[in-house]
Amino acid sequence: MLNELNPIPFKARVKEFAYDYLVILAYLVLLFGVTMTVYLLFLGGVPQMSELQSQLVALVTSVIPIVLIFTYLDYAQGGSFGKKKAGLKLAYRHKSVKSSLLRNIVKFLPWQLGHMSTIHGIYTDYDLLAVGLSCVSITLAALLLLMTLLRKDKRHLGDLLAGTQVQVQ
């Protein structure tokens, strides 16, 4: 059941974000360690990559796994580690893996666009496309944050599209 008025304390959302950020950060540190070990032990150093290869490595090793992990946690566990620590849960209009996946794709889209912008910028000395992608990424992230903070139902674009809502447990 989704609520029209959803009074989630700001402190709970900050706590949720902080714990989820730490989980993502821990994954990225582990990924860096494994990657550097493979590069140094098996490849003799960091290989030269094309822009496309760099884009694919970032997508396949960081964004897709994080989206899938959070999709699983939202669907099977009722929410991420941060939601659980903050006393929150994810409610669905119609619970499905598809809804959870859609929500997380939208939620992490600014992160992916940021990767794309940065990687493209490194290869092109930050041309107009890199700057444009960065602006879109920041704008979308701000939109998601503002929707979460300012809407009475506390739903962001991903929640609206997926039929989900973060609620107090």
pLDDT tens sequence across 2-34: 999 999 999 999 999 999 999 999 999 999 999
Residue 85 covered by a domain: yes
Whose CA is closest to 118, among 51, 21, 47? 51
Residue 117 lies in a domain: yes
Reported pTM: 0.93
Is 1's pLDDT higher than 90? no
Q: Does residue 3 sit within a domain? A: no
Query: Residue 31: its pLDDT value, please?
Result: 97
Domain of residue 91 covers 10-168
Classify 168 as helix, strand or coil: strand
Structural domain contains residue 5: no
Q: Is residue 127 part of a domain?
A: yes
How many domains are there within the chain? 1
What average pLDDT does the segment 37-47 reach? 96
Please determine, for residue 70, whether its predicted confidence score (pLDDT) is greater than 90. Answer: yes
Does residue 83 lie within any of the structural domains?
A: yes
Q: Is residue 99 part of a domain?
A: yes
Task: Note whether residue 136 is domain-resident.
Answer: yes
- The answer to whether residue 53 scores a pLDDT higher than 90 is yes
Please give the single-letter amino acid code of residue 93. Answer: R
Q: How many CB atoms lie within 10 A of CB 122?
A: 12
Q: What is the mean pLDDT of residues 63-78?
A: 97
Q: What is the pLDDT of residues 89-147, one digit of tens each?
A: 999 999 999 999 999 999 999 999 999 999 999 999 999 999 999 999 999 999 999 99
Q: Which residues pair with 88 in a beta bridge?
A: 168
User: Cα–Cα distance between 132 and 138 in angstroms, integer?
Assistant: 10
Longest Cα–Cα distance of the chain, Å, equals: 57
